[in-house]
Amino acid sequence: MIVIKVGGSAGNNYDALCDDLAAHYKQGESLVLVHGGSHETNRLGDAVGHPARFVTSPSGYTSRYTDRRTLELFMMATGGLVNKGLVERLQARGCNAVGLSGLDGRLLEGRRKATIRILEQGRQKLLRDDWTGTIEQTNVTLLRSLLEGGYLPVIAPLACSEAGEALNVDGDRAAAAIAAALGATTLLLLSNIPGLLRNFPDETSLITQIAPDEIETVLPYAEGRMKKKILGAQEALAAGVGRVIIGDARRANSVSLALDGHGTVIG
């Protein structure tokens, strides 16, 4: 069982990714694809006059501030254009892909963080009316029924609150939760960067191997969104996933290369 998360930033090669996924699918491997949608959400927000706002927590993690209008745009971009675009590519390559968000069937249940604490200009502030959440439960029965039916689930990073509200959740941590729930051997986190870099953005400074007990040591090297990938990797390993590989989604054969150890191998 392999769970793959592909980022939503510009530069990722979705066509090549789907070529590679199709090859593994046809070999009988059980696969789940989780995706982001940041670039399309930003593009849609700019088009309708509601640009993205990114905030940083006091602990240094960057995330999208998600008011209700932003949540609606996020659902359109991730649950619509990105999700169905990936499903279309996979279907064209002979994969019986089914597109869902974590909201569907309460695939991902989470707790809403209505108020978040941020650091801005050196001062801590509270932001209200936020529609982000943290994942607390995965509907593994639904996932297993799809996998046993021969489907390739393609999952957008939305969750369902206890009250039935849609929530924006981090894609890397969503993939980690799904990998843990399914008992996956491997979690791949693919994005527009070759892995964790010691001297960002110098791609020759790639850190190729990290032992689980070294994660806290290398965390200071993680810039921006990479911090969430490292956190997701840490959560997946703690829950029993065998290994996590941060790899490059810009390259052809990105899944195969990552499985062969190209990137940052954690575990």
How many angstroms separate the CA atoms of 170 and 79, rounded?
14
**Residue positions forming the annotated binding site for substrate:** 64, 168
Tell which residue, 42, 154, 28, 12, has the closest CA to residue 88: 154
Phi, psi of 212 (to 5 degrees): -55, -35
Instruction: Provide the β-strand partners of residue 245.
Output: 188, 265
**Residue positions forming the annotated binding site:** 64, 168
Q: Which residue type occupies 250? A: R
User: Which bin fits 71, alpha (ψ -120 to 50), beta or left (φ > 0)?
Assistant: alpha
How many angstroms separate the CA atoms of 225 and 12, rounded?
15
Contact call for residues 99 and 67 (beta carbons, < 8 A): no
Report helix, strand or coil for 67: coil
